[in-house]
Amino acid sequence: MDALRFLFLSLAVALQGHTSEGSEKAEPKCKNTEAELLNLTEGEALCFVPYYVARSKENFTDEEFTWYRNDSQVKSISSEEGERIHHHGPALLFLGLSINDSGLYITRRNSSGKCINYSVKIVVFPATQPLGKERLYLSIKAPDRNPRIPCPDPVKKPCKKMNGSLSWYKDLTPLQGEHGDDLRVYNSTTADEGIYTCICTWTHNHRVYKSTASRRLQIGESSDVSPPQIIIPQTNTVHLAAKGSRTTMNCSAFCGKNIADGCNVWWQKNGKSLEGEDGYDLTTRGAIVGLSKQTIITALLTIARVSAQDFQTTFTCVAENSLGRTSASVTLKPPESIAPLVIGAVSVVLLSVLAAAMVKYFAIDLALLFRRYCTLSSRHEDGKVYDAYVVYQTQKGDKALEETLCQFVTNVLPSVLEQKCGYRLFIHGRDDIPGEDRLELVETRVKLSRRLMVILTPGSGSGSEVTDQQRTSPQTPVVGGYDWQVGLHEALVQTEMSVILVQLGAMGPQGYTHLPAGLQHLVRKSAPLRWREDSRGAAMKNSRFWKRVRYMMPATPAKSTPAIV
């Protein structure tokens, strides 16, 4: 029957996990509690039970808990009695602590569909090290004449569980006749200040072990207890929280001045305690504020997932001490719809994106428009004569491409940039002077040009060598390798001129790998502008291609400057 019941429950959990929205796991998600911290001494024994388990009134079975150490690697902890470190259900035992026992220990409780992880961080100090403040529990600041020093729970509660006996020490000196859970110091004076240690002696498997815990007693200023006053929240407060979200409500109460204990603050749901209820987490802390010594106790209520039922619930913050009790009620309310704000914000974003896209698309048009009305006053101060030096190379074996290149260089390029836009170009075969030394001609004209315009074709950079004996003319334009070298040197090394890359035709599967290394570098920096002979705007200065070329050309043409004779 047990096996059939387990199989039925497993199947039900798996189906529920499969049908739940956004759920990919059949097992319930485990809840993690806040880790506890224990600073202990080498050689002592420890019987640790998590705080939330120890204070619960539920009945547990040993099978509900599994312990493991979670450090560099996860190690499960045995439940065998003979092991130095073992566990009995929620109780974790160290029979003689060692330095190497320092680490993080976690126990997982699985019961009735619940999964909760309790964790404790253990730090073990050498026995030879003097007792420092890091091993002291919360100090007792006694404002009255008869302070009470409670033995810390990590020793007191296991001592009762293990039927041990308590004894008290002050500054390592035994106090005769003191064996209670709490030590009362009557008619205290400053001479009673010091470190008080409770020692539990207990037996396990016929062996005797000891566990210790220490507090410091300080004789301080007198306290002033006041009836509790809730600072936050005001009564009948509305707390905004969206359905399905995680939210935290804060309750802070003033209990007097310099109060060590005796003031309690907690939350209720419809007049009942939230202790142990699923989906609600309670955290309480106290603080003595500044020179005024005002004691503020804060209780935080965290709702893991706000449900529709929570909106119909009254949550009450309660504060109580020996002089009275007060409360303040809070109700949850979903926030107003933010759809209009979201729609407005999305509209603004879309309009901004659209505006940015339009500005980017028409950036060249805007720049050309501004150039027309914003003429630079220092248009000829650079001493340049030409706006661009045109570099290209003839094609051998591809007659159609050679005709396209000749048509572009001798007709289209000058007609648009020179005749329609007013630029001055230097083109070999048209502008070189017969009889002039070709090497000197190239170097001089390149240095007198503001831009280097490179015409790329599928054979550029890998075609024929051009010698000085080849004759050039507008009908048979030829440019040799020396033009490439001088132009690229000025653009890459001297960085005195910008480069405009114009591509004729498709480069094919080889891409730009046939180009010289310098040109490949320029292609990677700026993609070539591709001219299509069959396009409608092939020879129109306001076509997209020619606008991009004009944008890369100098802002003011050099046409008014006298040419070099």
The dihedral sign for the CA sequence 11, 303, 119, 46: negative
**Tokens matching residue 521:** 């570098």
Please answer whether residues 330 and 249 qualify as being in contact, where contact means their C-beta atoms are separated by less than 8 angstroms.
yes
How confident is the prediction along the chain (565 residues), in pLDDT tens digits per residue? 344 343 333 434 343 444 444 444 445 578 888 888 899 999 999 999 888 887 777 777 778 889 999 877 778 898 888 899 999 888 999 999 999 999 999 998 887 777 888 899 999 999 888 888 888 887 777 666 778 889 988 898 889 888 999 999 999 899 998 999 899 888 888 888 899 999 999 998 889 999 999 988 887 666 677 889 998 888 888 888 888 899 999 999 988 887 766 788 889 988 887 766 788 888 888 777 766 678 888 989 999 999 988 888 899 999 988 788 899 999 988 887 777 788 888 889 998 888 888 877 777 777 777 777 765 544 556 778 888 888 887 666 678 888 888 888 888 889 888 888 888 988 877 787 777 777 777 778 888 888 888 888 876 554 433 333 333 333 333 334 556 666 666 666 665 678 888 888 777 777 788 777 777 888 888 888 888 877 777 778 788 888 888 888 888 887 654 544 4
Beta partners for residue 266, in sequence order: 318
Query: Which residues of 290-409 form beta strands (DSSP E)?
Result: 294-303, 314-321, 324-333, 386-391
Is 555 strand, coil or helix? coil
Stretch (H or E) spanning 364: helix 363-373
* Sequence-distant (≥ 6) Cβ neighbours of residue 353 within 8 angstroms: none
> Under 8 Å CB-to-CB from 436, ≥6 apart: which residues?
none
139-153+166-219, CATH topology level: Immunoglobulin-like (2.60.40)
Answer yes or no: CATH 1.20.120.420 is held by domain 25-125.
Answer: no
- Classify domain 379-552 by CATH architecture: 3-Layer(aba) Sandwich (3.40)
How far apart are alpha carbons 64 and 50 in whole angstroms?
A: 14
Cα of 181 vs its chain's centroid, Å: 48
CATH number for the region 227-333 comes to: 2.60.40.10
Q: Is 203 left (phi over 0), alpha (psi -120 to 50) or beta?
A: beta
- Fold agreement between 25-125 and 227-333: yes
Cα separations (Å) of 209 from 162, 264, 458? Answer: 11, 35, 91
Tokens of 468: 């000085």
Q: What is the DSSP string of 469-494?
A: TS--BTTB----HHHHHHHHIIIIII
Position 84 scores a pLDDT of 92
Domain assignments of the chain as residue spans, ordered by start: 25-125, 139-153+166-219, 227-333, 343-374, 379-552
The pTM score is: 0.40
